Structure 1
Amino acid sequence: MKRSEPPRHPYTPQVGELVHDTKHDVDGVYQSPGFGKYPTVYLRPVGGGIEWETPASEIDRIHPARELDPVQPTGAQDRARKQATA
C-alpha cells in the first residue's frame, strides 16, 4: 500500500513547553518522554491536572500567535502578593 504522505517526524519540545496534541485535539504542557514500546510523551493540562500519554508523532509546536494569555491571580494569590509587599 502506498502512503499518501511521508511519515511524521516527532517534534521534540522542551520541558514545560506548550504543545498541541492532535490525537486528542487539546493543548498541553510537555512533561517528559514516555517509556513504552512506541515513542510517546506525557502532557499535563494547562493550569495543572492529571498527565496523559499520547504518541510523540501526534504533538505539534504551538506558534506564538496561539500562546495563552497570562493567567490572572486568584483572590488568595492577589491578597498574599499584596501582603508580601506591604
Structure 2
Amino acid sequence: MKTEGGSTDAKRYAGERAAEEVEDGYVVGLGTGSTTAHAIRALGRAVETGLEIRGIPTSFQSRKLALEVGIPLTALDAIDGVDHAIAD
C-alpha cells in the first residue's frame, strides 16, 4: 500500500491538472488507472459547478466512477447533431 506523498501526490496532481484543461462542450475519453481516477473526480467536481461535458469511459471502473461523480456519459458511436446538411 502506498502512503500519501511521492507518486500518489504526483498522480493526483497530474490527474487534477489534466482535468483543468477540459472546457465546456468537450467529449472526454475517460481512461483507466489511478491517475485517471483523480482526473475523473476532478471533472466531477467541475461538472457540479457548471462544466458541461460528456465522458466516454474505457472500462467498467471508469464508467462506475464517472456516474458516481455525476459526469454525463455517451458512446463513441453517438451522434450529437448535424453541423451542415445537403439536400439531394
TM-score interval w.r.t. the shorter chain?
under 0.3
TM-score, with normalisation over the residues of structure 1? Answer: 0.27
More helix by share: 2
More strand by share: 1
